[in-house]
Structure 1
Amino acid sequence: MTAPEIVTEEHSATVTLLLERAEKKGDLPIYNASLNKVRSISANPDSHAMELAQTIMKDANLSVKLLRIANSPFYNRGMGKIASVSRAVILLGFDSIKNLCLTLKLIESFTDDHPEVALNKMVAHSYLTAGFVRDLAIKCNPKEAEESYISGLTHNLGEISVGYFAPQTYLELLNLFKNENMSWIQAQERILGESFASIGQQLAKNWNFSHKVINCMSDYNPETKGIVKNQEQLNHAIVSLGSQIIGSLYQERQQIKTPINKLMAQLSNATGIKLDHIEKSLANSFHRSCDLTKEYGLNPRLLQPSIHDTKDSSRDKLARELSFILTDQDQTNTEIEKDSVPFLKVINETNLTPHSHILAENTNNTSNKTVHKKSKPQLEIKQNISNTTKPKLHGDPNLQLAIIQEITTMVSEQASLNKLFVKILEGLHNGVGFDNAMLCLLSPNRKTYAGRIVLGNNSQTLQQTISGKFDPTNDIFSRILSEGSDLVVDDCNDSNWNNVLNANFSEKSNCQSFIIAGIKSRAKPLGFFYVDNSETKLAFTPEMKRGFTQFIAQARLSVQICN
């Protein structure tokens, strides 16, 4: 058996630089602690489904997107509605869940801050390669399919990392390739001192990927490797050749010089799969990838192959065929969307107004009545919502987790924003344990704000106290609402807050401390959440502050997804 091509313990100068810049940028989702935990649990045969589910549920964004994908036609085949992360883990299996999480985090991590680098196209390349490679691996050895998927997804990790963390260096490399008549690998070695493959291997090892995945990052040359002798070599061949085939369809810079027919033939020889079956696998995986772009948060246009004359007729013909698949799928989605009213349109029409205001508009304006009847406003606030259940003084972590799970399910089922916000208030009041939790909304004319839903015994007083003119310059609540930011006030009587808070606020509200967090839809302020402990006079514990942050993240995510 051939020894895996693992890099040495010492990092090269380029990798050291990339790791330093990665640390400065913060905890990127692709290698953060929660994702490492997901991978670790998935790899442990003694782990159980609930342990993996609980780890995933700590990431609200990941949970919602995961459930959306789990309920897509490809993954959910007659299993009924998958409404919880734990059920998704049980039905889809640890490996599938791990790969879905990794794909979502890869897409989330690397944003295209430098259009010249075309980082989003690199990520799309990884996404398509992973799907193609898995389809081929299933035909060869189904047990290795999920490992092959990860290998395909991370195959060009080195190039993505250089493009993201060192964009100017990448552009210098690209300029050298275009103007100095040297190969793509020669340009890499001239500028970086090594290949993208070597960089990717070192980073992957640093981030604790398996040796099989690391081995597949190097290029596979059938002419030097000879006949495939074992499963690891087979996986290496599938990943490397599969990535080159995808790359030849998308890389306008033509870094890949090998004709696509030759790549297909090499892949057929290595796997024993007939050429027409390989082409069918490519078409099927491409179609499936197009269907899942929305769930993964990818722009479908990024999957558009490069349509131009490359003097490789087979490659150009295949690019046109895949482009037709994408266009056909996009037209189908457009027709479906015409039958539904976009959520953003509903937001603009209702401006998150209370139910009584919507009814008044419908009475006084015929055209508005028609619009609201058709669009079924998403947020119909009832002002008499109350909660007589006294919250637990120190909160209930199990209840918090249960409510977060409910919110995740509601978002995946596209529940109304009104219901989601009420559930978030329940989480703050009953789960975290705040005495009062309130949602304030900006009026339709953007001149005033007022409390609309309050859970707690101090509801009427709070609604009267925390309302007023929308004035970001002179009013702290308006400022937080306008910015969409957070504010923790531990002591309202502190002299530092005398000139900021309303003079009668502390006396009227009977609270000594509070937390607020603004909610925005893109750049448009909607309202803010407010919590306090005016009844028990308990100081905010770190656990309470973390609980508040977690539920506010759910609120902001709900608005983001609905848009």
Structure 2
Amino acid sequence: MASKANKELESWIKHLSGEDMPVFSGTVADVTESVNSEDSSASEVAQTILRDASLTSRLLKVANSFNYNPGGKKISTVSRAVMVLGFEQVGALTLTLALVDSLSEGVQRHKLTEEMAQSFHAAIQAQQLAKKMGCKSPEDIFVATLLSRLGNMAFWAFSGQKGTEVLNLIQSENLTEQEAELQVLGFRLRDLTVGLSKSWSLGELLDDFLSDHHGNDERHNIISIGQELAEAAKNGWDSEQVAIIFEQAAKKLGLSVDEVEELAHQNAKHAKEITRIYGVTDASKRIPQPNIDMGLIEEDVDEAKSDSTDEPRLTITEDTSTAVTSKYPEPDSNVQLTIMQEITSAIEEKPSINIILEMVLEGLHRGVGMDRALFAILSPDRRTLTCKYAIGEDNERLCKELRINLSNTNNIFHQVIDSKKAMHVPSDPKKLTGTLSRDTLTLLGPPAYLVMPVIVRSKVIGIFMADRNASGRDIEEKDFIAFQQFCQQANMGLTFLAM
């Protein structure tokens, strides 16, 4: 029996990984690796986000909300978001948005909305408690708490007939959810969460918490309190269950009951707003608020149930003014302007040179609408260009493999460096003014390219290059002009930073 249950569980994990939530599982792996790597840069975190234009626009929208950017200074690039908010916060935002996207097609609308509301509520409660207690990484606690019921959310999003069977057992035979899950599936949805966490490498904190071997880890206590508050609050903030949890939490955290109650009420309001900002409006409405008649909440539930057959999808709201449907970004003069202004502001703060390079590449990709953009650094002996940063199509391969030999003076990249001038390398071979090596053509594909030297204190230190090879779109003169403007701004900024 246990063997059959294990096979069923493995089947669910495999199906969710390969068919239902492959983008989320891949995003988790990429973001976790980038955020946890000691050698990681803003561009590496940005790479994961920039692969999805819709995710990029939504991340920037959330990053510019008052809750994350109370100063109101506009954030227009992912690189800038990492610089201002930090790796951990941007990582948490990205994973949350990816989760919301992955669950947006959920068919059991009412149960999925309920699970997402509870998960977001618990995550915000835990995160804010972590900040109150001075925990080192409240963002990690937010993510671990949010994903601690991932199995429940994933099941109700993609359960099909099995979900209906579980609901029928709960309603007709008066079984608990766990009893109904075991009878229909052969395993609990908590077991599915454990399996997904291990399979998708959701993090050591979540794995340890789910193992039930909490020990004296304060973070585990905080996650538990967040979960318990979110669960109990569904019965009303004035319920006896909530009062008991307030007392238990006060003892565990070394706070007064009044302090815990006040903080929990504030967190509930904050959770409602944050969930709305993430675009999950249905779930936002389901987060219980203090001093609100629970009868009104129950009325909403009945309404959701009655609507479930007519409108089975979870409502995800998105800012249509920033939504992008094309795989490759289109030129956008407004985006160009805002990113150039942001680069100017960043230069005044004297960040690392790498940050400016990364912001310029993002401007070329998202603003000028290039399929990819890269910065290659010139070797000390000035004989080789090596790709250091790349954004867009095939970026990882370029960073690993692109090496351009400059020993041939007829080489086009040698000509750009020698002349210290930008070049629009034409697609027509008859119009080429120089040569390109076979290795370079293999990696980059045939022209057209835009190339411009990076000059600091009158000395060339590398080149910017961009193209539209992947999409096959033409590069117009206005694109070349915009490309040069970004590169020139980089040159001025880097010279200023080198002073």
The answer to whether the superposition gives a TM-score over 0.5 is: yes
Report the CA distance between 1:156 and its aligned residue.
Answer: 0.8
Task: Tell me which residue corresponds to 1:160.
Answer: 153
Report the CA distance between 1:202 and its aligned residue.
Answer: 0.9
Match of 1:13 among 7, 11, 22: 7
Checking the alignment, whether the CA contact within 8 Å between 1:133 and 1:152 is kept in structure 2 is yes
Structure 1 residues 23 and 545 mapped into 2: Cα distance closer, same or farther (>3 Å)?
A: farther
Q: Secondary structure at the match of 2:69?
A: coil
Q: Secondary structure at the match of 1:78?
A: coil
Distance 1:424 1:229 in 2: 48
Q: Counterpart of 1:241 in structure 2: which amino acid? A: I
Highest relative contact order (Cα 8 Å, sep 6+), 1 or 2? 2
Report the CA distance between 1:68 and its aligned residue.
Answer: 1.5
List gaps (5 residues or longer) in structure 2: 301-318, 322-327, 342-363, 374-425, 432-443, 447-466, 476-499
Checking the alignment, whether the CA contact within 8 Å between 1:112 and 1:119 is kept in structure 2 is no
Asked whether 1:249 is paired with 2:233, we answer yes
Task: Tell me which residue corresponds to 2:88.
Answer: 95
Report the CA distance between 1:317 and its aligned residue.
Answer: 5.5
Q: Counterpart of 1:230 in structure 2: which amino acid? A: N
Q: Secondary structure at the match of 1:259?
A: helix
Checking the alignment, whether the CA contact within 8 Å between 1:407 and 1:424 is kept in structure 2 is no
Asked whether 1:74 is paired with 2:67, we answer yes
Q: Secondary structure at the match of 2:250?
A: helix
Match of 1:50 among 35, 43, 50: 43
Distance 2:105 2:338 in 1: 31
Report the CA distance between 1:181 and its aligned residue.
Answer: 3.1
Q: Counterpart of 2:100 in structure 1: which amino acid? A: I
Task: Give the CA RMSD over aligned residues.
Answer: 4.5
Match of 1:267 among 246, 249, 274: 249
Report the CA distance between 1:125 and its aligned residue.
Answer: 2.1
Q: Counterpart of 2:9 in structure 1: which amino acid? A: V
List gaps (5 residues or longer) in structure 1: 1-9, 308-315, 327-342, 347-399, 414-422, 434-532, 552-563
CA deviations over 1:461-508 (Å, ceiling 9, x no partner): xxxxxxxxxxxxxxxxxxxxxxxxxxxxxxxxxxxxxxxxxxxxxxxx
Report the CA distance between 1:147 and its aligned residue.
Answer: 1.6
Match of 2:178 among 163, 180, 185: 185
Task: Tell me which residue corresponds to 2:32.
Answer: 39
Asked whether 1:122 is paired with 2:122, we answer no
Task: Tell me which residue corresponds to 1:236.
Answer: 220
Structure 1 residues 282 and 319 mapped into 2: Cα distance closer, same or farther (>3 Å)?
A: farther
Once the two structures are superposed, the pairs formed by residues 96-111 of structure 1 within 5 Å of their partners are 96-111=89-104
Checking the alignment, whether the CA contact within 8 Å between 1:111 and 1:119 is kept in structure 2 is no
Task: Tell me which residue corresponds to 2:384.
Answer: none
Distance 1:180 1:321 in 2: 25
Structure 1 residues 537 and 279 mapped into 2: Cα distance closer, same or farther (>3 Å)?
A: farther
Asked whether 1:25 is paired with 2:9, we answer no
Structure 1 residues 209 and 260 mapped into 2: Cα distance closer, same or farther (>3 Å)?
A: same
Checking the alignment, whether the CA contact within 8 Å between 2:31 and 2:48 is kept in structure 1 is yes
Structure 1 residues 24 and 46 mapped into 2: Cα distance closer, same or farther (>3 Å)?
A: closer
Once the two structures are superposed, the pairs formed by residues 515-530 of structure 1 within 5 Å of their partners are none
Structure 1 residues 150 and 174 mapped into 2: Cα distance closer, same or farther (>3 Å)?
A: same
Distance 1:111 1:37 in 2: 21
Q: How many residues align?
A: 338
Task: Tell me which residue corresponds to 1:86.
Answer: 79
Q: Secondary structure at the match of 2:137?
A: helix
Structure 1 residues 190 and 243 mapped into 2: Cα distance closer, same or farther (>3 Å)?
A: same
Distance 1:537 1:166 in 2: 59
Report the CA distance between 1:159 and its aligned residue.
Answer: 1.0
Q: Secondary structure at the match of 1:142?
A: coil
Distance 2:330 2:161 in 1: 47
TM-score (norm 1): 0.51
TM-score (norm 2): 0.57
Distance 2:93 2:28 in 1: 11
Q: Counterpart of 2:57 in structure 1: which amino acid? A: V
Once the two structures are superposed, the pairs formed by residues 533-548 of structure 1 within 5 Å of their partners are 544=468, 546-547=470-471
Distance 2:231 2:430 in 1: 62
Distance 2:296 2:78 in 1: 33
Once the two structures are superposed, the pairs formed by residues 413-562 of structure 1 within 5 Å of their partners are 427=368, 544=468, 546-547=470-471
Checking the alignment, whether the CA contact within 8 Å between 1:130 and 1:148 is kept in structure 2 is yes
Q: Counterpart of 2:273 in structure 1: which amino acid? A: D
